[in-house]
Amino acid sequence: MSPAAPRRVAVLTGGASGIGRACALAFAAQGHDLAIADRDDAEEVAGLAREHGVEAFASRVDVSDGVAVERFIAAVWERFGRLDCGVNAAGIQQLELGPTAEVSDEVWEQTIGVNLDGIFYATKHEIRAMLRGGGGAVVNVASQFGLVAGAHLPAYVAAKHGVVGLSKAAALDYATSGVRVNVLCPGGTDTPLVEKMLGADPVGGQRHLEEALALHPMRRLAEPQEIAAAAVWLCSEQASNVTGVALPVDGGYVAQ
């Protein structure tokens, strides 16, 4: 009897909550061993993943720190000896909304640092590990605002457009090397960020949510699991000829 094939290994950045958490649990359900990175504690997610019979560990990582990301991916390789999938969902909202000329340098740098620099560092080091192991698939999580613009969000829109461009460039760089790179562009999604907005200002938050939903043809928020399902597919053999794609999962938002 031949030995069982080793389990595939997935890295999830931003895996403590929201879309990243849903992705982590979806990959665990598919039988992937997991390495979860987040600036917050993701041990609870790792524990839930282990209930699927896989190996999982969590590390506190600031993805805007390139050295920290490099060390994290090195730890993944040391532990598992392979890396098959990288799903990079770590991100923050632009913390100060306003027209371009009024956004502070600090907010710009913080937003770009996490949402674009962090994706670059993760993509770079994941690809290096995948090349070492014979191939893999990277899925970077951008936003509907990686495909279209939104007012009063210049740093966020710039970062998410940058994620799309970076991912397409990387897809071309490694198209013949066994590494595929794609992008997910979610629309409004029911995450703790939305809950926080509603809790902080129930009246204003609800009005903002209703206005946002009116712009989505499906008139609803996505569930994080719906975004995760797309990430699992993009990393699977069913998507073996898919690379350089920016896939909207947005209830029709960018189709208008």
Catalytic (active-site) positions: 156
Question: Rounded to 5 degrees, what are φ and ψ at 203?
Answer: -75, -55
Question: Rounded to 5 degrees, what are φ and ψ at 140?
Answer: -100, 135
Angle at 43 between CA 6 and CA 224, to 5 degrees: 80
Angle between helix 43-50 and helix 18-29 axes, rounded to 10 deg? 20
Closest of 98, 108, 61, 57 to residue 79, by C-alpha = 57
- What is the Cα–Cα distance from 146 to 130, expressed in whole angstroms? 26
- What is the Cα–Cα distance from 229 to 231, expressed in whole angstroms? 5
- What is the Cα–Cα distance from 2 to 202, expressed in whole angstroms? 59
Q: What one-letter code names the amino acid at 159?
A: A
Residue 43: count of CB within 10 angstroms of its CB? 16
> Given the structure tokens 């799903």, which residue do they identify?
87
